Amino acid sequence: MDRTKIADALGGESQGQEITIAGWVRTVRHSKGGFSFIALNDGSCFAQIQVVADNTLANYDSEILHLTAGCSVIASGKLVASEGKNQSVEIQSTEIRVIGKSDAEKYPIQPKRHSFEYLRTQGHLRSRTNTFGAVARVRNRICSAIHEFFQQRGFLYVHTPIITTSDCEGAGEQFNVTTLQMNDIPRNDDGGVDFSQDFFARPTYLTVSGQLEVEPYCCSLGDVYTFGPTFRAENSNTPRHLAEFWMVEPELAFADLQCDMDLAEAFLKHIFRAVLEDCREDMQFFNERIDKTVIETLTHVIESDFERVTYTKAIEILTQTDRKWEYPVEWGCDLQTEHERFLTEEVFNAPVILTDYPRGIKPFYMRCNDDKKTVAAMDVLVPKIGEIIGGSQREERLDVLLKRMEQCGMDISEYWWYIDLRKYGTIPHAGFGLGLERTVQFATGMANIRDVIPYPRTPRNAEF
Ligand code: 4AD
């Protein structure tokens, strides 16, 4: 069908022409003089287009007068300047075909404000609302900005596997992948699971990160990135955690932590600039209805130099303030969101890159610093969210890596291929992971991460 997208029609270029548009009715108003005003949305932009129908249309009495929110229609007519004050153009329709009716009383998305909690129960229809349409468009723009940024800089996009045998972060928060029948698990003589009968003949998991598999490509092809779904079986019921989320992970060849931090800062600025420039209408909506500071915050991030502070310095700051912490702070502890937010929102009033964390709280692959206590790690913290990026320089020295793996209690034979990279032409390299949903949250001001991914997966919830 030769249809004009509503975004293009509202752009005004086809004014005076006959066009055909298609979409879902948001609201309908019938006036006494035999006119109806239909607000139609097709997802191509935030705004609705007004379609004016009069009683000369053949199906006016039989169909148009019965249109309600949720019906799908195809409308043809002339795009003309509108006399109404809410829109610059409208369609004077000559034909409206009702494609799909919708039961007005039962339609779950009534033309009124619904709570986000309620809309989560309507995951298949919530993208028809203003908020979820806007989130989907901003999320899309962020994804295109991610590829744009790396492609412009000559990074190769590498697809890492979703099913893995390794545990990159070492946190044991993996989902098992198996075809064994739960009610009839084959056992070894010692009572353990007999994985030789499983599909892969060994334990396998959904990946928590593509990093370990992207590193070999970095150590052969140079700068690379992977971008895909990752899974964590952590029982975290917070507004910032999902069991399934998307992560983009660049890996820089012949690079140290400084290069990594520079890349992360330029990357975030590129993404937020793209959103502010290309999603103006959606961002205006978020700024008016969701978070009145969101545009100001994004602009501030783009214009700020990110503060670079060591973990040790951060602990000093956190222990010297009068603030009462829910989670007590001391050197060696992992920072909680309350600490991260305090640093970025109140102490520095800018994004903060915390570096050089204690070895004991970071995974095996991070490069050991000369002080023998810390690793070349970096986390980027932003207001309201806390950690949005986690990364590090990688341990490229064979002997140091092996010792670390041993200390971490890892089965070294499982990681023979990862260790090979350090045997054959090892290089300094570094990378990071940016959580896509936390980025969408930050860009839109949406309070709950469950509302920035189409179908959230969280503990006890995998509907749709
Ligand atoms: O800090 P993380 O665990 O880092 C890694 O996985 C590294 N392997 C990345 C790398 O160096 N290539 O996770 C990176 C980011 C976090 O900063 C956060 O934005 C996001 O992933 N993230 C989550 N987002 C939503 N729900 C969760 N459960 C998340 N866990 C991490």
Confidence of residue 14 (pLDDT cuts 50, 70, 90): confident
The residue whose CA has the least distance to atom 25 of ligand 1 is 241
Average pLDDT (273-294) is 98
The residue whose CA has the least distance to atom 11 of ligand 1 is 432
Confidence of residue 170 (pLDDT cuts 50, 70, 90): confident
Rg (alpha carbons) of the chain, rounded to whole number = 27
150 φ, ψ to 5°? -75, -40
Check whether 84 has a pLDDT greater than 90.
no
What percentage of the chain reaches a pLDDT higher than 70? Answer: 100
Do 329 and 319 contact (CB within 8 A), yes or no?
Answer: yes
**Sheet strand arrangement including 204-206:** 163-164, 204-206, 176-177
CA of 241 to the centre of ligand 1 (A): 10
Cβ neighbours around 98 below 10 Å, total: 18
The residue whose CA has the least distance to atom 27 of ligand 1 is 241
pLDDT digits over 192-231, tens only?
999 999 999 999 999 999 999 999 999 999 999 999 999 9
Place of tokens 């002080």: 371
- Which of the two residues, 188 and 168, has the higher pLDDT score? 188
Check whether 427 has a pLDDT greater than 80.
yes
pLDDT value at position 12? 77
Is beta strand 49-54 parallel, antiparallel or unpaired with respect to 89-100? parallel
pLDDT digits over 58-80, tens only?
999 999 999 999 999 999 999 99
Amino acid at 46: F
Those residues with Cβ within 8 angstroms of residue 356's Cβ, 6 or more apart along the chain or in another chain:
310, 311, 312, 369, 374, 375, 376, 377
CA of 114 to the centre of ligand 1 (A): 31
Confidence of residue 172 (pLDDT cuts 50, 70, 90): confident
Average pLDDT (154-168) is 96
Say what angle helices 436-444 and 257-278 make with each other, to 10 degrees: 50
Average pLDDT (137-158) is 98
Average pLDDT (153-167) is 96
Residues with CB under 6 A from ligand 1: 168-169, 209, 211, 232, 241-242, 245, 247, 249, 387-392, 431-433, 435, 437-438
pLDDT digits over 314-334, tens only?
999 999 999 999 999 999 999
- Which of the two residues, 83 and 357, has the higher pLDDT score? 357
pLDDT value at position 344? 96
The residue whose CA has the least distance to atom 22 of ligand 1 is 435
34 φ, ψ to 5°? 85, 30
Confidence of residue 168 (pLDDT cuts 50, 70, 90): confident
pLDDT value at position 274? 98
Candidate of 227, 231, 247, 367 to mutate for ligand 1, largest count of ligand atoms within 8 Å of Cβ: 247
Beta-bridge partners for 379: 354, 390
Is beta strand 89-100 parallel, antiparallel or unpaired with respect to 156-157? unpaired
Tell me the average pLDDT of the chain: 96
Query: Could you give the CA distance from residue 388 to residue 442 in angstroms, rounded to a whole number?
Result: 9
Q: Please provide the size of the chain in residues.
A: 464
